[in-house]
Structure formats: C-alpha cells, structure tokens
Amino acid sequence: MNKKQQSLPTLLAAALALAFVSVSAQAVVTDADIANDATTPNDVLTAGLGQQAQRYSPIAQINAKNVGDLVPVWSFSFGGEKQRGQESQPVIANGKMFVTASYSRIYALDTQTGKKLWKYEHRLPDGILPCCDVVNRGAALYDNLVIFETLDAQLIALNQDTGKVVWKEKMADYQAGYSATAAPLIVKGMVLTGVSGGEFGIVGKVEARDARTGKLVWTRPTVEGHMGYRRDGDKMVENGISGETNKTWPGDTWKTGGAATWNNFTYNPQTNLIYAGTGNPAPWNSHLRPGDNLFSSSTLAIDADSGKIVWHYQTTPHDGWDFDGVNEFVTYTTKDAKLLGGKADRNGFFFVLDARNGKLQNAFPFVNKITWATGIDLKTGRPNYVDENRPGNPAEAKTGKEVFSAPSFLGGKNQMPMAYSRKTGLFYVPANEWGMDIHNEPVSYKKGSAFLGAGFNIKPLNDDYIGALRAVDPATGKIVWEYKNYAPLWGGVLATGGGLVFTGTPEGFLKAFDDKTGKELWKFQTGSGIVAPPITWTENGEQYVAVVSGWGGAVPLWGGEVAKRVHYLEQGGSVWVFKLHKKI
C-alpha cells in the first residue's frame, strides 16, 4: 500500500476525531454560553433567563395575535407521594430539560417528548428544618454538570448525561436550622449559593465554589461582625469582617442574626458585582436587637473575584415585620445609558438603585396599602417609619402590643420573580394585597429551634382579590395596568418579544397577557396551583413555553385566614410544555 493509500484512513480518523471534539465542545455549557443566555433562543441556561434575571426572551414566534393557538405538547409527573410546593424553573440545554422538584429531587427529560432520561433523589436525613415547605427553585448548568441545592444544605453536581454524582459539598449544618432552596448562579466558572434558615437564628452567607470541583473559593457572611474567608492555595485565609462588630448589633445578637440568603442571586458583567438579597434579622422581635442590624433585609453588591461587599442598601433597617430583602435585584440599562437595578421588596416598596454604587434613584409603593412607613426618603434612602405601627415591646410581659401591619410578612412580593421587558421598559410584578395582626413575645436562642419572638395572623385586605400582576414603570412609579386574582399570586413572570407576559395562578391556570394593555389573551388549566416561573425557548424552528405546576409553598403553611380562603386548592407535581398547534 502506497503512502497516498495509507493517508486516507488516517485523514478519515483525524476528521472523525475533530468532529467528535466539535460535538463534545458544543455539548458542554461554557462561561460564554451563560453570559449570552439572555439573547440565545435555543436554550435556557440560568434561573431568570440570564445572569441579570430580567426574565425576558426576545423570541416572538408566539405573539399576541396567535397565542390563542397555544396547546400542550407533553406533561410529566413528578410522582404522587411527594407533591407539596413546586417552585422550580426548568433549565434547557442540548435537547434536555433539567427540573427540580420538592424533597430535593431532580429530573432530566427529553425536551421533545417528555421522556424521563434519569432521576436523582437526594436522601434527606431526619430532622431537616425548612421554614417554608420542601421546595426547590431550580438548578444551574455548567460544563457537563447540573448543580442544585438540597434541603439539608448540601450542594450536588451531577453528570448531565447520566445523573451520576460528580461532586457533593456540605454548605452548612442542617441541625442548626440551615437549609437551601434557591437555584445556584454560575459566574466566571464559579457556582454561587446562599442558605435558608433565618427563622432559626442562623447566619446568612454567600459562597463561591469552583463549579467543576465544588472547592470553596470564598465565603462572605451577611451579618455584620462575622469574618469572611478566601482561598489562598490549599487553605482558606481571612478576608475581612463583614461591616464592623457591634456597630449595628448590640452585645452578642450578631452571632445569631439571620439575614439568610435564601433566594436567587443576580450578576452584571459591567460591574462584576453579584447582587444578593438578605432576609430578616433574627429574632423577629426587634426590641431584642436595637440598631439597623446590618446586613439584614438588604441588597448586597459583592465583588465576584474577591468576595468583598462593595456596597449595600438596606430596604428595611431594624426590621420588625419579617420584611426579608431577598427579592431579586434586576439590572437594566435605560435609554440614556444608565445602569440601574430594580427591586420589588417584601415591604411593599419598589426600589430603583444605581447598579454601580447603590445610590437610591427612586422608591415608590407597588401595593395599595402600607402601614409601617409613610414612604422612603429619597435623600437619606431610609423609610419614614410609623412608630406606633411597630409591634410592641413585651419586656417582662407575655406579649407586646399587637398592631395591624400591611403588607403581611409574606410580602408585597415574595419569592416569585418579576420580569423586565427590554421592549416596553416595564417591570411586571406579581404582587399581593394582604395584612397581618402581629405581636412580639419573649424568646431566647436555642440551636435548631424556632427563633421568632412573634405571633401573627395573615388577613386578606379585599373580598374579591389578593394577587395582582402589575406593569410598573420604574422611572415614574406609575402602575400602567394590573390584573387582579382571587388567590395570592405565588408564581413568577415571563415577558417576551412577542408582546406577551406569562404567569401562573394558584387556581392552576397558566395565563398570557398583552404586555402593553394587560388584556388576558390565553389560559390553560394545569391541574394544580402554579407557584413557579414560566420559561420559553426554540427548538427545531418552533417556540416552546414551559411551566412547573404544583400548589404549596409558604402560603398554605403560614397564611392564616388567607390559607383558609384557598384551602380548596389541590396539590400536584408536574411540568407542562406548550407550543403553537401548527407551524407559522
């Protein structure tokens, strides 16, 4: 055989090898893929459809004119024994959907057929202490890994193709009240996570780990007085105290200060800042911890490389109502090229901040009734408190003065993510109108026990509705339109280039609205309440919409009179996928 004949199989082998490398390279999720997630239509790689979590897709195949032709393609059940609240946003890559479910489960499904490719069910120990149902809000994708958090505060990375464990890391001690429910965020090859457990006197934190190995890169506590750490070679070294010990926390109160980081984070590459919301200070009884209690009920801007707090903005200083500040901080660019961030806070006010330095630009109510403050001082950035509407000091008595407060501690908005449309410049906010009777009680810290020091009863404010989807102009504070819903809204929102806004209701409907007028254009009954955010993507030239269905979460557990009002709603656990019934 001559050299020319010998070279042919060699060339073929080389070509096949290159093709294999090319396919393999396309099969993994890269940092560039994640950075471009908001603009690439054929996948959904992050919670929020992009690191900024605008929850906006430019896809316009499904639009206001044809959305009435949307029909289900397939549905997949998570199983009948472990239902409860289903708050997960699916992620999509390479023809696979990865979706988490209650009780720390995760499924890989074929996006075209709904066929189960694999299932991983984390073995939970006895004695876990989740405050607000056994929920999970989704997974993160990186390389050939799918990464998610568990109710016993572990972080697990699985092989996307097989579901086998690649690495597993303990985030915190579940016996002390720590848990984890959020979707991790990937930033520059790191997986960013937080912790739940503010009702048990834990200490919140933001952690960055190498996404491929799980090895800790840095950790930043979110209660003032605690030390941060960063990796230096094979060891972790001190990286500065968060704030200043005892500056805003008296005595030893900072040691059990709460400020849990239990919801999803965001990131903006222009600032290289991770935006993390923090929860309530512990205990709820504010008279036991005089001061602002940094960094609770705040937005923290953390440098992605160093793990240091660059700026903070506290939405409810000295919180006495459980107005967690964990709601997502969504960055956006204005027509005059300003980089701002919007946040619809639990306390009922919508805040607009400079994303680079945290300076307040605007603040206004997005709910109709607020009793704890008359407004936000735009010069100081602080609330104008109504002192008599703070729950009273129990001192030596069994209870302090009871007050009526609106919104309730479940918030003007809670975990359900809003959407920002780059097309209309509006935020679409799932809001709730409710209040509560609340009083304070004496309490002391005990590891693994509830650390509240308060009693409460949540009440509806209106006979005809609790939930309200509102289109909000962040520049003026104007409510452009609203849709009222009888039950509370607890699912997230999706806005699209087709002029549509999608959201789900506890009554079980996935609905589509006109993004400019709020007119309801389409709805579909999924069989159980929706408390999760919808997504959209394209595949084989067609646009798909998906949402997880399954009633539960904090409302039926903590909702008082509200829970009684919606007791008829059925639990479930499934994911639904839709497309137009014919090609355009």
pLDDT at 81: 73
pLDDT at 582: 76
Instruction: For 209-222, give one letter per residue: b (16+ CB within 10 A) or e.
Output: bebbebebbbbbbb
Lowest mean pLDDT among 257-271, 390-404, 482-496: 390-404
pLDDT at 583: 56
Q: Mean pLDDT across the stretch 467-478? A: 98
Task: Please determine, for residue 7, whether its predicted confidence score (pLDDT) is greater than 50.
Answer: no
pLDDT at 20: 41
Neighbours of 68 (CB within 10 A): 12
Per DSSP, the residues of 334-371 read -TT--EEEEEE-TTSEEEEEETTT--EEEEEESSS---
Task: Please determine, for residue 553, whether its predicted confidence score (pLDDT) is greater than 50.
Answer: yes
CA 8 to each of CA 4, 14, 18, 22, 475: distance values in angstroms, whole numbers, following the listed order? 7, 10, 15, 21, 66
Per DSSP, the residues of 528-574 read S---S--EEEEETTEEEEEEEE---SHHHHH-THHHHHTTTPPP--E
Q: Rounded to an integer, what distance in angstroms lies between the CA atom of residue 514 and that of residue 527? A: 24
The per-residue pLDDT for range 328-377, each reduced to its tens digit, is 999 999 999 999 999 999 999 999 999 999 999 999 999 999 999 999 99
Q: Rounded to an integer, what distance in angstroms lies between the CA atom of residue 99 and that of residue 252? A: 41
Which amino acid, residue 457?
N
| pTM, rounded to two decimals | 0.95
175 burial level (CB within 10 Å; 0-12, 13-18, 19+): middle
Catalogue the active-site residues. 322
Per DSSP, the residues of 273-285 read EEEEE---BSSS-
Task: Please determine, for residue 22, whether its predicted confidence score (pLDDT) is greater than 80.
Answer: no
| Share above pLDDT 70 across residues of the chain, in percent, rounded to a whole number | 95
The per-residue pLDDT for range 31-54, each reduced to its tens digit, is 999 999 999 999 999 999 999 999
Q: Report residue 564's pLDDT band, with 50, 70 and 90 as the boundaries.
A: confident
pLDDT at 18: 43
Which amino acid, residue 469?
L
The per-residue pLDDT for range 214-245, each reduced to its tens digit, is 999 999 999 999 999 999 999 999 999 999 99
Q: Report residue 25's pLDDT band, with 50, 70 and 90 as the boundaries.
A: very low
Lowest mean pLDDT among 8-22, 370-384, 443-457: 8-22
The per-residue pLDDT for range 255-300, each reduced to its tens digit, is 999 999 999 999 999 999 999 999 999 999 999 999 999 999 999 9
pLDDT at 98: 98
pLDDT at 70: 98
The per-residue pLDDT for range 101-158, each reduced to its tens digit, is 999 999 999 999 999 999 999 999 999 999 989 999 999 999 999 999 999 999 999 9
Domains identified in the chain and CATH numbers: 29-580 (2.140.10.10)
Mean pLDDT of the chain: 94
